[in-house]
Chains A and B, each alone.
Chain A
């Protein structure tokens, strides 16, 4: 059990990193990586929501959708759960932990359309993880996302001062530098635990 959890965590953080090897969550990854501070905020919000969404969606899938033979409606159910969850978390944080709420700011509502969150709950179902494994996969997947976005934000802060062709302004140069960061993460690919 413990070995399996270690395997899932290392896999989600390094080997099958959500951004650099599965391409999940690229939009916020490129959109919110201007500064290291905002990237950290976004990363924290994603870790939080991904962990929570994995837990709730697992319960809903196993105890509601499967017994009712509605498993084919999982995409629809999950996206509604995530949207409601994000809204709920936003209200809860605003009331009880205003400091965290103001730190996360606009990133919280944006998470609804982050495909890493929907991706992780769909992958939980696809990989047939149990409850603990799902939650671990959700949280470590979020940590992998955070690692990627913080690393990339520091790379991107540097590209601002570098001299590249004018037509590469904006997303184009980001994607090219992301390719180089992905190259670094390729070093982990194919690694096996035990």
Chain B
């Protein structure tokens, strides 16, 4: 399978959130700071990759009738592992994501990829599929976080970046971020649930616009090529 195409699919043409439109609960809920966004994105990436590999490896011995139950058990196992690891090593992230880490179990992205991709493909393909789809998810989270944080409170990289004593990354979620304009001028409503719904809606709209435009361009080019070929024939 073509890795480049898989990469494109995960990030753009078959992006889990913007095109497949699944796994939206967490996307809207936790995208308030860059710290949360990157943490959640990477957690999903790791869990998705592990589950993809396991499901693909077991695809020949999983009975058709109870496959969903088996997928859920595999996913819940990995989610528990990641949850405990986060509690042990990055407690701040675990606290601020709260119930949304265990809720990755019912995130449709993971069960959707297991059902749609890993059942029919090799372990290697599924591994890369997990990474690319996870990256696509992480990118959407980062875009939403950056937008909501900037418009909502005029900051960039809250929790992750600290510039009070020179530039450094903070992994304990205490960094104040870079203040781009005073927080009082921000639209505080973007940090509330309203902002989550609105930002994701606009983003999906934008994506549909871009994809449609791409298709139109392709069609126009095809038509032009066809016409050129026809003209050539006529000339001959």
Contacts and interface: CB of A to CB of B under 8 A. Distances in A.
Partners in one complex: yes
Contacts of B212: 166-167
A118 B201 contact: no
Interface stretch (B50-58, B73-81, B127-135, B221-229): B73-81
Contact of A175 (B22, B192, B198): B198
Contacts of A169: 208
A72 to B, nearest CB: 6
A76 B77 contact: yes
B34 interface: no
Interface in A23-49: 23-27, 30
B201 A183 contact: no
B204 A175 contact: yes
Contact of B205 (A27, A112, A165): A165
A189 B22 CA distance: 28
Q: How many B residues touch the partner, as a band?
A: 35 or more
A79 B106 contact: yes
The B interface is mostly helix, strand or loop, or mixed, namely helix
Interface residues of A, number: 46
B214 interface: no
A173 B193 CA distance: 16
A122 interface: yes
B73 A26 contact: no
Interface string B72-109: 11001101100110000000000000110011011110
B196 interface: yes
A27 to B, nearest CB: 6
Interface string A155-173: 0000000000111111111
Contacts of B209: 165, 167
Given A172-B208, A182-B192, 14 more contacts: A23-B196, A24-B103, A73-B80, A76-B77, A80-B76, A112-B106, A122-B99, A167-B209, A168-B205, A169-B208, A170-B21, A175-B204, A176-B197, A182-B193
20 contacts: A25-B25, A26-B24, A27-B22, A27-B23, A75-B105, A76-B73, A76-B77, A79-B105, A79-B106, A113-B108, A118-B105, A122-B99, A165-B205, A169-B208, A170-B21, A171-B21, A172-B204, A175-B200, A179-B197, A186-B189
